[in-house]
């Protein structure tokens, strides 16, 4: 969680300095993201959103790779084809991200259906926000998951805001969790800023899915402490009081206080963790900023398994164009 926060803070500042093009911060949602991911085995699958940096960190994606992606350089796993935050790491079963809200949810259900058809005890975990619950694909994915009893766990990170719209503009329901009931499975609400509560709920849901008991939705009540993205100014739509109120519920502070009270977290330990995080991040940026852009031809690769004639023609047009 502290590494995710340090990465988040640094990425925002890199964007402000013009060193990366864009960033969508996750600060405030670390407990929801990491508490849930920790309930999974490494052979389970995750389908996160662009705000789920904490999921990538918790799955063990190296920080260098994350920066490579933010920079869009030649060592980026996405080959610099996607804008920042659209992660994807096959090695840790982290499915690459589309920006279209909720479009990954039917895919998550499909992966879980595949796991069930193959009679494996794996689980797919899909993440989405409160805004996503208004999309048709949310309902379709939940409906298919319910009908086929697919081993999928939906983590709804209800962070209060879908860019400028409050949750009350996404639903007239009392909660998002109750929507799961309409699809025939359990929906639970947890304090999404309490990492242990999230972990406990996720663990139960994952175990249920593994035992063939079907899907669960976990609504994590949390808060997006920063802007929607580096292109957003949240002062236009929410009050300083609200932000301050949630700052006092910062999930990292809360967990640290808890650990301190139990004598697990000490000042020295905290300082050494901060130093380690800082060193890791600084070195990663330094190395990744040395790496050049991907070559022009990579723009034309991977559209098809085998490059068709029109793309071959377009490569030579582009490589021969005057601007090179």
Asked if 89 is an active-site residue, the reply is no
In the shown chain, the binding pattern of residues 233 to 252 toward other proteins, with x for contact by CB under 8 A and - for none, equals: --------------------
Contact 155, 202 (CB under 8 A): yes
Contact 289, 19 (CB under 8 A): yes
Name which of residues 145 to 204 contact other proteins (CB under 8 A): 147
Asked if 228 is an active-site residue, the reply is yes
Q: From the CA atom positions of the chain, what is the Rg in Å?
A: 21
Q: Which tokens hold the place of 71?
A: 């920079």
Which of 16, 211, 237, 293 is catalytic? The answer is 237
80/73 Cα distance (integer angstroms):
6
Name which of residues 280 to 309 contact other proteins (CB under 8 A): 301-306, 308-309
Stretch that binds other proteins, among 74-82, 199-207, 236-244, 281-289 (CB under 8 A): 74-82
The DSSP symbol for 293 reads P
Nearer to other proteins, 68 or 225 (CB): 68
Closest CA to 189 of 149, 139, 155: 155
Stretch that binds other proteins, among 57-65, 141-149, 163-171, 284-292 (CB under 8 A): 141-149
Work out the angle at residue 106's Cα, subtended by the Cα atoms of residues 187 and 223, and round it to the nearest 5 degrees. 50
Find residue 125's DSSP bridge partners.
46, 153
Q: How far is the CB of 67 from other proteins (least distance, A)?
A: 15
Q: How far is the CB of 151 from other proteins (least distance, A)?
A: 12
Exposure string for 290-306, b = 16+ CB within 10 A, e = fewer: eeeebeeeebbeeeeee
Asked if 104 is an active-site residue, the reply is no
| 3-state secondary structure at position 291 | coil
Count the site residues for other proteins by CB under 8 A.
46
Beta carbons within 8 Å of 266's beta carbon, 6+ residues apart: 260
Name which of residues 17 to 46 contact other proteins (CB under 8 A): 45
Start-to-end CA span in the chain (Å): 43
Q: How far is the CB of 264 from other proteins (least distance, A)?
A: 38
Name which of residues 104 to 123 contact other proteins (CB under 8 A): 104-115, 117
Among 8, 77, 191, 194, binds other proteins (CB under 8 A): 77
Q: How far is the CB of 81 from other proteins (least distance, A)?
A: 6
Question: Is residue 55 part of the contact set for other proteins (CB under 8 A)?
Answer: no
160/167 Cα distance (integer angstroms):
5
Residues that bind other proteins (CB under 8 A): 45, 76-79, 81-82, 86, 88-90, 95-96, 98, 100, 103-115, 117, 124, 136-137, 140-141, 143-144, 147, 301-306, 308-310
Query: What residues act catalytically?
Result: 224, 228, 237
């Amino acid at each position: 969680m502290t590494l995710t926060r340090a990465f988040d803070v640094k990425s925002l500042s890199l964007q402000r300095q013009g060193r990366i093009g864009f960033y969508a911060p996750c600060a405030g949602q670390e407990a929801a993201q990491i508490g849930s991911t920790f309930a999974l085995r490494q052979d389970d699958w995750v389908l996160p959103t662009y705000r789920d940096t904490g999921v990538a960190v918790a799955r063990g994606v190296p920080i260098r790779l994350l920066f490579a992606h933010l920079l869009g350089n030649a060592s980026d796993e996405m080959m610099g084809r996607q804008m920042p935050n659209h992660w994807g790491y096959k090695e840790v079963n982290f499915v690459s991200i589309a920006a279209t809200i909720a479009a990954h949810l039917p895919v998550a259900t499909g992966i879980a259906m595949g796991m069930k058809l193959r009679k494996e005890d794996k689980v797919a975990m899909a993440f989405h926000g409160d805004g996503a619950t208004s999309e048709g694909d949310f309902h379709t994915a939940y409906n298919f998951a319910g009908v086929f009893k697919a081993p999928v766990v939906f983590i709804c990170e209800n962070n209060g805001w879908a860019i400028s719209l409050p949750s009350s503009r996404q639903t007239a329901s009392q909660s998002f969790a109750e929507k799961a009931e309409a699809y025939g499975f359990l929906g639970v609400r947890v304090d999404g800023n309490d990492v242990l509560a999230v972990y406990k709920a996720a663990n139960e849901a994952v175990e249920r899915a593994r035992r063939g008991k079907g899907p669960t939705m976990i609504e994590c009540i949390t808060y997006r402490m920063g802007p929607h993205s580096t292109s957003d100014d949240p002062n236009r739509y929410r009050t300083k009081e609200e932000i301050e109120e949630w700052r006092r519920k910062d999930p990292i502070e809360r967990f640290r206080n808890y650990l301190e009270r139990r004598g697990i977290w000490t000042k020295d330990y905290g300082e050494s963790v901060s130093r380690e995080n800082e060193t890791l991040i600084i070195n990663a940026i330094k190395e990744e900023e040395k790496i050049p852009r991907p070559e022009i031809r990579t723009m034309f690769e991977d559209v098809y398994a085998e490059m068709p004639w029109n793309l071959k023609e377009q490569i030579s047009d582009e490589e021969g164009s005057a601007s090179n």
